Amino acid sequence: MSVADVGAARVRTTTWEDPVATAQRGLKLDGAEYIAGLIAGDIAPPPIAVTLGFEVVEASEGRAVFACEAGEHLYNPIGSVHGGVAATLLDSATGCAVHTTLPAGVGYATSDLHVTFVRPIGRDTGRIVCTGEVLHAGRRMASAEGRLVDSRGRLLAHATATCLIG
C-alpha cells in the first residue's frame, strides 16, 4: 500500500513576505509597537506564523496572546497535533511577551524553553490560545511563562522560557 492509497490528498498553500526586510523595519520600533503592528496587520507576520497558522491576537507590556486553529495539517504520525506546535506557540507567546518590554533596536533569543504537555491536541480541539507573561525583565535576561488552553479554558500545555537580551 502506498501513501496515496490511504486517502484523499490535501493541499495547503502558503505565501509570505520577506522576513529580513520585516525584521529590519522592526528594529526601528520598540517591542510593543512592533507587536501592535503585527496585530493591526501593518507589519507582515513571520513565515513561521503563516506556515503554522498562528496569529497574535492581543498584547500589552509584558504580555502576548497567540491563537491557532488545531487542524490536521499540524498532525504528527500518531494522529494528533505535534507537540512541537504547542512548544512553538509557547515559545512565540513568551518571546513576544518579552519583546513588548524592549526598546527599539534591541532583540532577544530564547535560550531555554521548558514545556509540560497536559492534554493531547487534535483537530476536534478547535481554536487554541496561548498567553505569555513576563516574570522578570532584566538588562541581559528575561524570563516568562506561558499557558496554552482550549476554547473551554482547559490547560493543554504550559512552559517557562528564558530569553537572552541583546
Task: State pLDDT tens for residues 80-128.
Answer: 999 999 999 999 999 999 999 999 999 999 999 999 999 999 999 999 9
User: What phi and psi values does residue 52 have, to the nearest 5 degrees?
Assistant: -95, -10
At 59, which helix (H) or strand (E)? strand 55-60
Helices (H), the chain: 19-26, 31-40, 47-52, 83-99
In the chain, the percentage of residues whose pLDDT exceeds 90 is: 93
Strands 141-149 and 55-60: unpaired
**Hey, what domains does the chain have and what are their CATH numbers?**
14-165 (3.10.129.10)
Per residue in 146-157, pLDDT (tens digit) is 999 999 999 999
pLDDT value of position 100: 98
What is the pTM for the complete model shown?
0.93
The phi, psi pair for 89, rounded to 5°, reads -60, -45
Four-CA torsion 102, 28, 129, 127, nearest 10 degrees: -170
